[in-house]
Amino acid sequence: MSELRRIQLLSPRLANQIAAGEVVERPASVIKELLENSLDSGATRIEVDVEQGGVKLLRVRDDGCGIPADDLPLALARHATSKIRDLEDLERVMSLGFRGEALASISSVSRLTLTSRTVEAAEAWQVETEGREMEARVQPAAHPVGTSVEVRDLFFNTPARRKFLRTEKTEFDHLQEVIKRLALARFDVAFHLRHNGKGVLALHQASDDAARARRVAAVCGPAFLEQALPIEVERNGLRLWGWVGLPTFSRSQADLQYFYVNGRMVRDKLVAHAVRQAYRDVLFNGRHPTFVLFLDVDPAVVDVNVHPTKHEVRFRDSRMVHDFLYGTLHRALGDVRPEDQLAAPASVTSVSPLSGVAAGEFAGQNEMSLSTSVPERAAGEAPAWRGAGVGYQMQRPASGGHVAEAQGAYREFFAPLPEAGPAPLPASQDDVPPLGYALAQLKGIYILAENAQGMVLVDMHAAHERITYERLKTAMASEGLRGQPLLVPESIAVSQREADCAEEHAQWFQKLGFELQRLGPETLAIRQTPALLKQAEATRLVTDVLADLLEYGTSDRIQAHLNELLATMACHGAVRANRRLTLPEMNALLRDMEQTERSGQCNHGRPTWTQLGMDELDRLFLRGR
């Protein structure tokens, strides 16, 4: 039997070092806490000096409101803060740091000096602590209005922690990434970073749209801004603004994804799921989208106090937030047309006001729409050339299995359109449509066209595949799903919570072609499945959908399975390689691409067309040199 040990209070030093294990992982986590304090103090300029990746020195100086001399010792005490007073403040947190543990934790594993002066004070005051002792020493100092925090010899008294640090370059890269994240959140603050005495970042205040765009380009790279859509949508008390990268500007890693809730960067699974849904059928397999997005909500409807590092949040109405994010991004990506991709990158231009499900005005679960398409723009908004294309032949899809059965319902989409004469030459360059007019066909695969910018190259099969796919989705949404009763109902064992969820959403399942019956507290019977999905594994699909409904309040798994089927049909129905098209047929395909959602990518996320401008062509042939 183990020795009986009595309960006792931990010493302040040990308590702080334990807390430091949560707060202080590496120099980057120290700089995050210090910068958040500076931003909360109202700073408009922050200077950061780093030596040896932050292990030897971290110094942060700001021009914020400062700390009164009498409060300096308290600033280094645990659970001491000026940012919240009572529970009501905690329920509407607007500051970045609010727990009152950061400085105490940092000072317990380093040699910390804090110097500050308020605007009313005649002189500055300084407080020092050194790891083991934890005794604050206060003395006068010279300092302008604002605060400087100097952290030296990180983990000098906890060598076991220091052994886990990486190389100087790795630690500095992590630290620099933290500064970039905060710089994107606060365009109104100037950030300056020096490493080993050398300037690394100099981000000035960004007070207008152009300056904000320049900062985004400085942090994320100019290529991101050139390939991003600026969006700004407000609906139901939620406001989403920022930039989303085009599907063709994807990454092999999720390293260019910045999402902020009320100015606080978060990595939230609900947000990630909504973004993933929005990019679902436009992103190449294994690739990750890019975005810099800001969500502004009432602080009372979001809980930021659910994670020690405050990287995760909890929304009061998670389904509303999920549907708003998904609908807004889905609509923004769907509205991209070739003329948008050819336009010069903008700063912060608002997209057209959204309405309906796309803008977060979602219906009840039992009224959820099957549609993933977006209504066409108003007729008055269409350019003169839009819709003036001529007909082209579509290959008949191969018949067989459930694909052939489904094709029978939508055979009109594979019929040829009326033929017409060649497209007339435009009177001026302004009248040339975005993808121009076809010149020739290359190797039976590519269409060569001329537009105002230069040459356009189109993968005709990939482009036609997307057009057919979007038409099939529209037809599916308008005609709905036909259910097929099972000869022998399938019984599945579920939890009581899942069974309750199935009963609650029974009408929604019915609209999707499923019929579920509750046989007992933890048993369901599948009596009917969608006719198009009769080869799908119904039991697994239903359980996966129920899991989504319980976690996110919504599910798109059934729609995803249907879309996979429609994508297969579209692939069979698209014009094949080595099929010779006439010029009118090629021009008709170009005009359809200009009107079709997501026509920049095929159903598998590959690009359908590319532009070679005159500058690029001139460089290839060394013209003008």
Domain boundaries, the chain: 12-203, 209-362, 370-375+389-625
The percent of residues in the chain predicted with pLDDT above 90, rounded, is: 48
361 pLDDT band, cuts 50/70/90, is very low
Give the pLDDT confidence score for residue 108 in this predicted structure: 86
pLDDT at 364 over 90: no
Report angle CA 246, 430, 423 to the nearest 5 degrees.
90
Question: Are residues 363 and 369 in contact, defined by beta-carbon separation less than 8 angstroms?
Answer: yes
Tell me which fold the domain 370-375+389-625 belongs to: Ribosomal Protein S8; Chain: A, domain 1 (3.30.1370)
> CA nearest 65: which of 112, 149, 121?
121
Strand order in the sheet with 523-530: 483-493, 523-530, 515-520
Which pLDDT score is estimated for 307?
63
Q: Which residues pair with 47 in a beta bridge?
A: 61, 192
Q: What is the pLDDT of residue 606?
A: 86
- pLDDT of 392: 47
- pLDDT of 144-202, one tens digit each? 999 999 999 999 888 888 888 999 999 999 999 999 999 999 999 999 999 999 999 99
Question: Beta strands 291-296 and 257-261: pairing type?
Answer: parallel
pLDDT the model gives residue 480: 66
Residue 115, CA atoms < 13 Å, CB-side half-sphere: 16
- Top-confidence residue, 18 or 161: 161
What is the C-alpha to C-alpha distance for residues 206 and 203, in angstroms, rounded to an integer? 8
Determine the average pLDDT of the residues in 339-348. 61
Q: Examine the pLDDT at 243 and tell me if it is beyond 90.
A: yes
pLDDT of residue 457: 96
What pLDDT sits at residue 381?
42
Q: Which of 302-311, 382-391, 393-402, 515-524 has the highest mean pLDDT?
A: 515-524
Average pLDDT score over the chain = 81
Q: Is 307 exposed, middle or buried (0-12, 13-18, 19+ CB in 10 A)?
A: middle
Which residue has better confidence, 507 or 424?
507
Closest CA to 77 of 55, 50, 106: 106
Residue 333: exposed, middle, or buried by beta-carbon count in 10 A (0-12, 13-18, 19+)? Answer: buried
Asked if residue 445 has pLDDT above 90, the reply is yes
Which fold, 209-362?
Ribosomal Protein S5; domain 2 (3.30.230)
Is the per-residue pLDDT at 396 higher than 80? no
Q: What is the mean pLDDT of residues 442-458?
A: 94
More confident residue, 231 or 92: 231
Average pLDDT over residues 475-491: 81
pLDDT tens digits for 92-142? Answer: 666 676 556 788 888 888 999 999 999 999 999 999 987 655 677 889 999
E strands, 52-141, in order: 57-62, 111-117, 124-130, 137-141
Cα 494 from Cα 522, distance rounded (Å): 5
What does the angle CA 512 – CA 406 – CA 579 come to, to the nearest 5 degrees?
135
Q: Look at residue 521 in the predicted model and tell me its pLDDT.
A: 93
Higher pLDDT, 523 or 8: 523
pLDDT of residue 377: 38
Per-residue confidence at 403, pLDDT binned at 50, 70, 90? very low
pLDDT of residue 11: 76
Binned at pLDDT 50, 70 and 90, residue 302 comes out as confident
pLDDT band at 477 (very low <50, low <70, confident <90, very high): confident
Q: Is the dihedral of CA 32, 262, 302, 277 positive or negative?
A: negative
Q: State yes or no: pLDDT of 342 exceeds 90.
A: no
- Pick from 141-145, 279-283, 318-322, 416-420 the range whose average pLDDT is largest: 141-145
Output the pLDDT for position 8: 81
pLDDT top residue among 535 and 521: 521
| pLDDT computed for residue 183 by the predictor | 96
The predicted pLDDT at position 103 comes to 87
400 pLDDT band (50/70/90 cuts)?
Answer: very low
Amino acid identity at 311:
H
pLDDT for the residue 60? 97
**Which of 336-345, 421-430, 612-621 is predicted most confidently?**
612-621
pLDDT recorded at residue 372: 32
CB neighbours of 122 closer than 8 A, spacing ≥ 6? none
Tokens of 481: 């799903």
**pLDDT for 368 beyond 90:** no
Q: Higher-confidence residue: 181 or 549? A: 181
Q: What is the pLDDT of residue 238?
A: 95
CB 54 within 8 A of CB 175: yes
Q: Which fold has domain 12-203?
A: Heat Shock Protein 90 (3.30.565)
